[in-house]
Amino acid sequence: MNEVTKIDGIGSSVRRTEDKKFLTGKGRYTDDINRPGQVQAYFLRSDVAHAEIKSIDTKAAQSAPGVVGVFTGSDIAADKVGGPICGWVVPCRDGSSTKEPPHPLLAQGKVRFVGDAVAVVVAETMEQAKSAAELIDVDYNELTPVVDFVNADKGAQIHEEVPNNCYFDWELGDESATNKAIKSAAKVVKLSVRNNRLVPNAMEPRSALAEYDSLDESYTLHTTSQNPHLTRLVLAAFMFAIPESKLRVIAPDVGGGFGSKIYVYIEEAVCVWASKKIGRPVKWTADRTQAFLTDCHGRDHANDVQLALDDNNKIIGLRVDTVCNLGAYLSAFSVVVPTILHGTLLSGQYDIPAIYTNVKGMATNTVNVDAYRGAGRPEATYLLERTMETAAREVGMDPAEFRRINFIPKDAFPYQTQVALQYDIGDYEPHLDKAMEMIDYSNFEKRRAEAAKRGMYRGIGMSSYIEACGLAPSAVVGALGGRVGQWESASVRVNPTGTISVFTGSHSHGQGHATTFAQIVADKLGIPIENVEVIHGDTDKTPFGMGSYGSRSLASGGSAISKAVDKIINKSKKIAAHLLEASEDDIDFKDGKFVVGGTDKEKAFGEIALAAYVPHNYPLETLEPGLEENAFYDPTNFVFPSGTHIAEVEIDPATGVVEVVDWAACDDFGNLVNPMIVEGQVHGGIAQGIGQALLEDAHYDENGQLLTASYMDYCMPRADDLPSFKVGYTNTPCTHNDLGVKGCGEAGAIASPPALINAVIDALSPLGVTDMSMPATPQKVWKAIQESQSVAAE
């Protein structure tokens, strides 16, 4: 870890400077913003999962009180407005490409999931809009819905462009080498797992407020986005065909996203369109039910795994066949999540000489599925770490030892996996050892015996995960089918008195960038953190940037800031050299001062700033005045955080309730800028992982109705569902960014579900239980216990 040199520099747990407004309820979110003359939009949504629209009669709604406009798909089509686009496609096994059916802003001819927008009513108030929407008469010809994604190829075809409801059938790795390894193996461990479907549930529901200025023919959109520049690009270039300069997108305070606010949704586009049509600002805000029905969901995979071992229990091959549910339309990153972000992670922390994977992405009559905290990597980690533990049990080895003999050795880095990625650095045994020590692994059997005396089943389970974050480099992204660059931008403006305004292309929606980014600048310039302001989320202010997702903000966005600050320091040295009448090479910069080496001649950073803006004594003939620098940073590789999480549970056989009694997380995130914020990210990630493993499940019935569309039935983790976490770190600094940082935002959600399910299975293993699906609800666990007892009784 970095040496702590200053109280508010890199490595110090500075309190989050943004929290004052959030904790006092003064955050300013999209729905808090109101514009003169504003009207409200309400979307009439399909209540059937799959149907042809025979007719829509909006006449009665048009003349309802307060209504200023009612529009349907034909109005959108008449104006030739495009729909959301897919940001990443992959090639198929048969040589074709991903099938990309159109996604109209309002349904045209067909509805494809419960929640699909059929019409929009714009009225003076939301209640008037809702009342008018009730007067719209839609005549449907219902079709058989496709809900079971594993058998979706046999269901009714949802899109003309998507035969067999298969968007893509992709592969990666060496199939024949892998099959050969499986054939020649001393043992093949087989496992089928499901990764349950989740609803992201950001605390702030999605919202949009669009305004059209007819005088300069420009739009302003306030919206709940994790990447306002991408939203602007998609809306301007692909949907409305207007110059980007005529659209300003502002993502003000945003209350969480977890991936669900990356994409451009139809609602914000319709608000933009309607604001011009009507000539008044148009606002839409989802209620919680709409959030359940229309926010992109996460996960929803079925994986068949075969792990081949030799006589010494060394892994010699891994084959994974995956079917995943992508829902009714392709969302922006639907395709990359289960392929590039999943298949490439299948080597985990292990030295596996042959890997092959095949992924089929299916269309169903459910809402779109896209990135959710971890995006592809939790699914890869879940199947692999479940299989590792199953294999260890089957060969009779301690799961820790089985992992240890298969780890990529420390001296093998950089390590080329068989699934495209090259890990730059890592060292896996230390975090395994430390996590085991933190949870007192060696005394576990004593605790199990003690619990048994109380009638409780106690179990322990682990997961050694790797993740790839800070998606990069752009050229590789392009070669893999990505349609975007994956760099990040920063602009560092030194104000005349030496205070700093940092404009970042990243976007904070809870992560604490205002603090972390300021720490980097403060540390590098030797100035107090109070002198650094971080500005984000407004396309008129910040340079074009890619936003925040995939744990990329520090590794990519922070590195861009670091580079811009380096440029500031370089220019400042030139100014200092002039003022101090010394050669630039003799100027050292330390603790906020420019010093002529070996002398006591010095200038403070503030003096340099002032000289740059009041250039009375300044080398104007060779140097521009002012002090402001931009940087665009394109990483040369992903960053690869890794770690080991160990969970300990107790199960009450009478009720099936699983209590998480202990948790040790030891992560290697490289250098930590703000350990307190990192710990918060780890806690939040584990909480979400525990939610997935024990509580959360988005459940559609066979008619395509979402049964878990409220908190009455969709179970979010609460504080009393969680233990007190033990959090520790190891550190192998990233080799290819200046800060030596990796990413920490998703690790908890990636590592935790398999650790927890492994612990549940371990607790029940004395009964002969070998499998448990997520979420391990009390009913499911109780039933597994009952069934094992009836088997035992036979």
Name the minimum Å distance from CB 133 to other proteins. 10
Q: What Cα–Cα distance (Å) separates residue 123 from each residue in 37, 115, 208, 579, 608?
A: 11, 20, 15, 64, 56
Say if residues 380 and 345 touch (Cβ distance below 8 Å). Answer: yes
Q: What is d(CA 163, CA 157) in angstroms, rounded to the nearest whole number?
A: 7
Nearer to other proteins, 415 or 714 (CB): 714
Residue 679 is encoded by which pair of tokens? 């710990």
Smallest distance, other proteins to C-beta of residue 285, A: 14
Residues that bind other proteins (CB under 8 A): 127, 130-131, 134, 289, 654-656, 695, 699, 707-708, 711-716, 777-779, 782-783
The smaller minimum CB distance to other proteins, of residues 121 and 546, is found at 121
Nearer to other proteins, 177 or 695 (CB): 695
CA angle (222, 223, 226) in 5-degree steps: 130
User: Minimum Å distance from CB 608 to other proteins?
Assistant: 55
Residues contacting residue 78 through CB under 8 Å, at least 6 positions apart: none
Q: How far is the CB of 288 from other proteins (least distance, A)?
A: 11
**CA terminus-to-terminus distance, the chain:** 58
**Distance in Å, CB of 779 to other proteins, minimum:** 5
Residue matched to tokens 């009559």? 365
In whole angstroms, the minimum distance from the beta carbon of 651 to other proteins comes to 14
- If DSSP codes are grouped into helix, strand and coil, which group holds residue 284? strand
Which uninterrupted H or E stretch holds 168? strand 166-173
**Least distance from C-beta 690 to other proteins, angstroms?**
12
Least distance CB 287 / other proteins (angstroms): 8
C-beta closer to other proteins: residue 131 or 553? 131
Provide the greatest CA pair distance for the chain: 96
Smallest gap from Cβ 659 to other proteins, in A, equals 12
Shortest gap between Cβ of 695 and other proteins (angstroms)? 6
**Based on CB atoms, which residue is closest to other proteins, 712 or 793?**
712
Nearer to other proteins, 123 or 247 (CB): 123
Minimum Å gap between C-beta 564 and other proteins is: 46
Question: Least distance to other proteins from the beta carbon of 209, Å?
Answer: 22
Q: Which residues contact 641 (CB under 8 A, 6 or more apart)?
A: 466, 467, 469, 551, 667, 668, 669, 670, 742, 743, 744, 747
Strand residues in 287-416 grouped as ranges (E):
301-309, 315-327, 355-363, 415-416
The residue (of 22 and 711) whose beta carbon lies closer to other proteins is 711
Strand ranges (E), 509-656: 532-535, 587-590, 593-596, 602-604, 628-633, 642-652
User: 610 by DSSP, 3-state: which?
Assistant: helix
What is the closest distance, in whole angstroms, from the C-beta atom of residue 708 to other proteins in the complex?
7
Residues in the chain: 794
Q: Say if CB 223 and CB 284 are below 8 A apart.
A: no
Nearer residue to other proteins within complex by CB, 23 or 707: 707
Q: Quote the least distance from Cβ 33 to other proteins, whole Å.
A: 23
CB 487 within 8 A of CB 626: no
CB nearer other proteins, residue 5 or residue 786: 786
Cβ atoms 373, 337 nearer than 8 A? no
Q: Rounded to the nearest 5 degrees, what angle is found at the Cα of 640, between the Cα atoms of 437 and 439?
A: 15
Q: Which residue has the tokens 């549940």?
A: 760
Q: What b/e readout covers 31-61, taking b as 16+ CB neighbours within 10 angstroms?
A: beeebeebbbbbbbbbebbbbebeebebeeb
- Residue whose CB is less far from other proteins, 336 or 769: 769
CA–CA separation, 685 and 691 (whole Å)? 10
Least Å distance, CB 717 to other proteins, is 10
Nearer residue to other proteins within complex by CB, 138 or 612: 138
Nearer to other proteins, 604 or 657 (CB): 657
Q: Which CB sits closer to other proteins, 132 or 460?
A: 132
Closest CA to 507 of 539, 468, 472: 539
Distance CA 753, CA 759 (A): 10
- DSSP codes of every residue in 483-539: -S---EEEEEEE-TTS-EEEEESS--SSS-HHHHHHHHHHHHHT--GGGEEEE-SBT
Cβ atoms of residues 747 and 467 within 8 Å: yes
Nearer to other proteins, 341 or 785 (CB): 785
Q: Which is nearer to other proteins, 495 or 705 (CB)?
A: 705
